[in-house]
Structure 1
Amino acid sequence: MKVFDDYAFKYDEWYEKPFGKSAYSLELECLKNLHIQVDSSLEIGVGSGRFASMLGIKYGVDTSKRLLKIALTRGVRSIVAKAESLPFKDMVFDEALIVVSLCFFEDPTASLREAHRILKDRGILLLGLVLSESPWADFYKEKAKKGHPIYTHAKFYSYPQLITMLKSVGFKLDRIYTTLFEDPQDEKPIENRKILDGFHPKGGFFCVRALKLSL
């Protein structure tokens, strides 16, 4: 998506601002509750490599060349590729990670199907995302209406929609955590760092682990 090339450095710098830095650390903590260190892993929609580098994921794909250059400085080896058409053989990875990217993919179901294809049997899919039931989704939709260059391209999915997509391509939900229990804003550091087991629609960030089933 061209917008991520155009705003690559501003996008990455967001993580250094007061809100972005605190949100990132909380989201990372949530993901770590579900992440398992494995031999081979890939982040789909790796962006600037912030999540992959901190989770020990060495490989990534993204459509933005500029973001991938930043990811390389963080030790993440990445190539330009679309989530819907991954340039890998079947069953080569133990884990696939998709964080805050599913809402930007052209075809989320096709992307999940590709993740299923490149994972080994009983491989792990780890998602970090905002779901449409959350007040944070409404917050970002309002930004989109006002012409925000990135959120105008986002589409948020409901929890039932996500589960349906996962099941349709051969994944089984294993566990979900919810965090970011504050009124939506994007300037002040986050104070409530609670992370709860399960799906809680009043939260703002959801960490989902699913397991690959053989089709």
Structure 2
Amino acid sequence: MESSPYQEHAVRYDRWFEDKPLVYAAELRALRSMLPDDRTLSVEIGAGTGRFAAPLGIRFGVEPSAAMAVLARQRGVEIISGVAEALPLRDSSADLLLMVTAICFFRDAEQAFREAWRALKPGGQIVAAILDRSSPLGQIYEANKAASPFYRQAVFRTAGETADLLAAAGFAKFSFCQTLFGQDLAAVTEDEPICAGHSQGLFAVIRAAKP
């Protein structure tokens, strides 16, 4: 994962969630709708500042940016330094792996998904949230990413492309949900819908299992 913009701008990144509380709340609702109830060891890959792991009850995170890790630890997340392409996790050790808008920064997404498959127990699940390039707002993000210190190096994918990569790594039993519809985050409301499927909402969540 490319860590330098997050190392340099960790506080700015973290403040975004306070500036966009309705967007953040919708993302959390979408993720909660996809998380399995039965999970002993769950880990967020690319945990950032802990904005998702902490409220979702995920105790552990893997994060390459030391500056981001400091904020995550303050939220009670136990951070292990590492990258998605070489996870510091034992084979078949995790029940759940979470990735939230981190895949677009992985240096090698295919390798990251192979590592996720390795680290999950048989029957374990991966929940991966992306900024869906095929959505109306995703197309705006793609067109303007060069102006962002965070997204200029990002590789935005569609939910379908991401699912294909997961399937190539061995995952199966796919489910999808989405939120953040329209073309302006300022229009997000307190009851922003969470809908099945993908390609219309910016924030797409994909759940799959290791057979």
- Fold match, TM over 0.5? yes
**CA distance in structure 2 between the aligned counterparts of 1:5 and 1:143, rounded to whole angstroms:** 22
Q: Which residue of 1 aligns with 2:175?
A: 175
**CA distance in structure 2 between the aligned counterparts of 1:169 and 1:67, rounded to whole angstroms:** 28
Give the alignment of 1:138-177 within 5 angstroms. Answer: 138-145=139-146, 147-177=147-177
**CA distance in structure 2 between the aligned counterparts of 1:74 and 1:127, rounded to whole angstroms:** 21
- Which amino acid in structure 2 is aligned with residue 176 of structure 1? F
Structure 2 length as normaliser, TM-score? Answer: 0.93
Give the alignment of 1:47-126 within 5 angstroms. Answer: 47-126=48-127
SS at match of 2:155: coil
Q: Which residue of 1 aligns with 2:32?
A: 32
Give the percent of matched residue pairs that are identical in Structure 1 and Structure 2. Answer: 33
Name the stretch that deviates more: 27-36 or 155-164: 155-164
**CA distance in structure 1 between the aligned counterparts of 2:86 and 2:144, rounded to whole angstroms:** 30
- Report if the CA contact (8 A) 2:30-2:179 is conserved: yes
Q: Which residue of 2 aligns with 1:202?
A: 200
- Report if the CA contact (8 A) 1:23-1:189 is conserved: no
Matched, 1:184 2:184: yes
Gaps of 5+ in 1: none
Gaps of 5+ in 2: none
- Report if the CA contact (8 A) 2:132-2:201 is conserved: no
Matched, 1:15 2:17: yes
- Report if the CA contact (8 A) 1:171-1:212 is conserved: yes
Cα distance, 1:189 vs structure 2: 5.7
- Which amino acid in structure 1 is aligned with residue 55 of structure 2? M
Q: How many residues align?
A: 207
Structure 1 length as normaliser, TM-score? Answer: 0.92
Deviations along 1:93-148, one digit per CA (max 9) or x if unpaired, are: 10000001001111111111111111000101001111221122222223323x31
SS at match of 1:152: coil
- Which amino acid in structure 1 is aligned with residue 7 of structure 2? D
